[in-house]
């Protein structure tokens, strides 16, 4: 059944652009960002240069989030859901294969995008970024991308509509987290938003030894929070899928 | 909203059973309930004594063409059938076989939205035949078919029944039904009006055609 979901994924155009776009976008941004830092453009990155290699993923994740959303909402917008549930009437099994295939594909894309972005950043910077915490950050990033994809899939299953799901997810990932998150009082709350929870591990939350950047959780516990978000979203999606008529 | 109420009937193998009723009579809802897509408030549908949702490989037991579109327009007909086959452990070679059986093998690589209405309908029929099931449900199957396609579909359904399969075909087209079905289940406003053979149905109404018999019966139901 995972094979069937894989056939669905590879046989539509949206996958053919969202998946490579993740790699291209974050890789290109990593290189450009590193170039500008090299020519003296980013004092902010001096304290923690690893940020250069991982910040681009916050943009690169967006096509993956779209991919995660479309994996479910396209079932409804095209009517494929009727064929899917006629073929697999056990909705838990249908949902599990959908989640597994989508997350697995996102994981493979992540395993490509993360090192590509890292190497692009090094190339642009002209020096190695091998330093303390780099291995942990690389592993974290490879977990982060599929987890965000699964989160998007869960939210989309609850909402069953692409505009609605994108309308909620994209502002959260852009405004809530990155824009408003720069205001200290707001950050006390936004630090718990799903994408933010992984930022300590990805060296995007600012130097954690400085009080003004320090989060209320560490690298791995932050990743644990993200897992909780994903589990909650997927369970919410299942509750909706199980109850509603197709 | 109540679409179907107190509806109970049995469909038998070896003959084509027509499911007749005006638009909005609850035909599609009934067929969706058969597949577990909609849930009845009470009662259930059993196919060979088993609920559809309890079947491990339902496509090998029951093939269905639903009225509403259920194909991704961006996916080719071949890939649509391929993923369906993969969900039910159906051999990949069956995809080619059913595409040829319904006469769209040459356009199987085209994206579904590029298919004509009639070819899209044939793709839906191919999906129903994919698992070589003993039970087949077709909801308004001749919609969008050209005259040649209508004759082809009629021959196909009668042939499938002659092989001993259970064939259940819904339609609101009387003349088509009179030529295709042996047995009739007639509904209107979600209620059962008749469950009989085509010839008895016409004879009992005291009219000379299925159309006249149907109109008389549904007019009676409306009062």
Residue at which a domain ends, from B132, B147, B165? B132
Cα nearest neighbour of B137 on chain A: A86
Q: Which residue has the higher pLDDT, A99 or B45?
A: A99
Residue B72: φ, ψ to 5°: -70, 120
What is d(CA B123, CA B133) in angstroms, rounded to the nearest whole number?
16
- The DSSP symbol for A11 reads T
What is d(CA A169, CA A150) in angstroms, rounded to the nearest whole number?
12
Identify whether residues B115 and B37 lie together within a single domain.
no
- Cβ atoms of residues B4 and B43 within 8 Å: no
Here the contacts of A177-185 (C-beta below 8 Å, separation 24 or greater) are A178/A58, A184/A212
Average pLDDT on A47-54 reads: 90
Pick the closest to residue A202 from A67, A56, A24, A29 (CA basis): A56
Identify whether residues B110 and B204 lie together within a single domain.
no
Identify whether residues B138 and B212 lie together within a single domain.
yes
Lowest mean pLDDT among A166-180, B24-38, B56-70, B124-138: A166-180
Identify whether residues B44 and B152 lie together within a single domain.
yes
Residue at which a domain ends, from B100, B132, B164? B132
B75 in reach of chain A (CB within 8 A): yes
Asked if residue B54 has pLDDT above 60, the reply is: yes
Asked if residue B26 has pLDDT above 50, the reply is: yes
Identify whether residues B76 and B171 lie together within a single domain.
no
A231 Cβ contact list (under 8 Å, min separation 6): none
Count CB atoms within 10 A of the CB of residue A20. Answer: 14
Asked if residue B39 has pLDDT above 60, the reply is: yes
Identify whether residues B24 and B96 lie together within a single domain.
no
A45 Cβ contact list (under 8 Å, min separation 6): A37, A51, A52
Pick the closest to residue A80 from B37, B122, B6, B25 (CA basis): B37
Half-sphere exposure of A66 (CA within 13 A, CB side): 15
Average pLDDT, chain B: 90
Identify whether residues B84 and B157 lie together within a single domain.
no
Kindly determine whether residue B68 and residue A79, on different chains, have CB atoms separated by under 8 Å. yes
B59 lies in some domain: no
B88 in reach of chain A (CB within 8 A): yes
Lowest mean pLDDT among B6-20, B115-129, B132-146, B153-167: B6-20
Listed by start position, the domains of chain A span: 2-243
Asked if residue B223 has pLDDT above 50, the reply is: no
B167 Cβ contact list (under 8 Å, min separation 6): B15, B16, B17, B136, B138, B157, B160, B161
Residues in A touching B59 (Cβ below 8 Å): 86-87
Structure tokens at B89: 């452990």
Residue at which a domain ends, from B132, B162, B177? B132
Report the pLDDT value the prediction gives residue B222, as an integer from 0 to 100: 46
Pick the closest to residue A57 from A6, A124, A117, A139 (CA basis): A117
Identify whether residues B103 and B155 lie together within a single domain.
no
Average pLDDT on B105-124 reads: 95
B53 lies in some domain: no
B99 lies in some domain: yes
pLDDT digits (tens, 9 = 90+) for A128-183: 998 888 999 999 999 999 999 999 999 999 999 999 999 999 888 876 556 666 67
Closest CA of chain A from B49, distance in Å: 16
Residues in A touching B54 (Cβ below 8 Å): 89
Asked if residue A40 has pLDDT above 90, the reply is: no
Identify whether residues B118 and B98 lie together within a single domain.
yes
Average pLDDT on A74-91 reads: 95
Asked if residue B45 has pLDDT above 90, the reply is: no
Facing A79 at nearest CB: one of B39, B70, B74? B70
Kindly determine whether residue A82 and residue B88, on different chains, have CB atoms separated by under 8 Å. no
Identify whether residues B43 and B142 lie together within a single domain.
yes
Task: Give chain B's domain count.
Answer: 2
Banded pLDDT at B73 (limits 50, 70, 90): very high
| Cα angle value A232/A229/A233 (rounded, 5°) | 40
Average pLDDT, chain A: 91
Identify whether residues B128 and B138 lie together within a single domain.
no
Residues in B touching A83 (Cβ below 8 Å): 70-71, 80, 84, 127
Report the pLDDT value the prediction gives residue A48, as an integer from 0 to 100: 86
Report the pLDDT value the prediction gives residue B171, as an integer from 0 to 100: 87
Identify whether residues B106 and B139 lie together within a single domain.
no
Domain span at B2: 1-48+134-223
Half-sphere exposure of B187 (CA within 13 A, CB side): 25
Structure tokens at A137: 């950050």
What is d(CA A92, CA A240) in angstroms, rounded to the nearest whole number?
11
Report the pLDDT value the prediction gives residue A207, as an integer from 0 to 100: 83
């Amino acid at each position: 059944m995972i094979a069937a979901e894989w056939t669905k994924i590879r046989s539509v155009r949206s996958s053919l652009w969202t998946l490579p776009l993740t790699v291209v976008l974050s890789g290109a941004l990593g290189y450009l960002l590193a170039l500008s830092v090299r020519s003296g453009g980013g004092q902010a990155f001096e304290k923690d240069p690893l940020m250069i290699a991982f910040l681009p993923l916050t943009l690169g994740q967006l096509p993956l989030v779209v991919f995660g959303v479309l994996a479910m909402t396209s079932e409804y917008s095209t009517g494929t859901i009727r064929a899917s549930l006629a073929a697999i009437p056990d909705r838990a099994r249908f949902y599990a294969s959908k989640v597994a295939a989508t997350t697995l594909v996102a994981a493979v894309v992540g395993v490509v995008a993360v090192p590509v972005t890292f190497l692009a950043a090094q190339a642009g910077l002209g020096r190695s970024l091998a330093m303390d915490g780099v291995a942990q950050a690389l592993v974290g990033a490879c977990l982060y991308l599929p987890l965000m994809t699964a989160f998007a899939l869960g939210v989309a299953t609850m909402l069953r509509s692409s505009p609605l799901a994108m309308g909620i997810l994209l502002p959260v990932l852009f405004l809530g987290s990155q824009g408003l998150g720069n205001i200290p009082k707001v950050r006390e709350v936004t630090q718990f938003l799903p994408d933010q929870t992984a930022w300590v591990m990805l060296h995007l939350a600012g130097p954690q030894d400085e009080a003004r950047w320090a989060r209320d959780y560490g690298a791995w516990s932050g990743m644990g929070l993200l897992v909780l978000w994903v589990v909650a979203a997927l369970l919410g999606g299942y509750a909706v899928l199980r109850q509603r008529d197709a | 909203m109540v679409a179907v109420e107190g509806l109970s009937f049995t469909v038998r193998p070896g003959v084509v059973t027509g499911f007749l009723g005006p638009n909005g009579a609850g035909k599609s809802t009934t067929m969706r309930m058969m597949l577990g897509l909609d849930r009845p408030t009470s009662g259930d549908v059993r196919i060979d004594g088993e609920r559809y949702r309890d079947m491990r490989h339902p496509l090998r037991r029951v093939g269905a063409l639903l009225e509403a579109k259920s194909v991704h327009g961006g996916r080719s007909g071949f890939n649509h059938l391929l993923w369906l086959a993969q969900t039910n452990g159906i051999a990949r070679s069956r995809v080619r076989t059913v595409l040829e059986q319904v006469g769209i093998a040459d356009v199987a690589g085209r994206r579904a939205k590029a298919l004509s209405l009639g070819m899209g309908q044939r793709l839906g029929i191919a999906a129903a035949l994919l698992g070589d099931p003993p039970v087949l449900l077709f909801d308004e199957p001749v919609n969008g078919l050209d005259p040649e396609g209508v004759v082809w579909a009629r021959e196909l359904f009668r042939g499938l029944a002659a092989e001993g399969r259970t064939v259940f075909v819904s339609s609101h087209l009387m003349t088509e039904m009179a030529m295709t079905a042996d047995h009739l289940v007639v509904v209107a406003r979600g209620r059962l009006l008749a469950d009989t053979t085509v010839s008895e149905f016409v004879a009992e109404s005291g009219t000379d055609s299925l159309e006249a018999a149907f109109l008389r019966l549904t007019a009676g139901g409306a009062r």
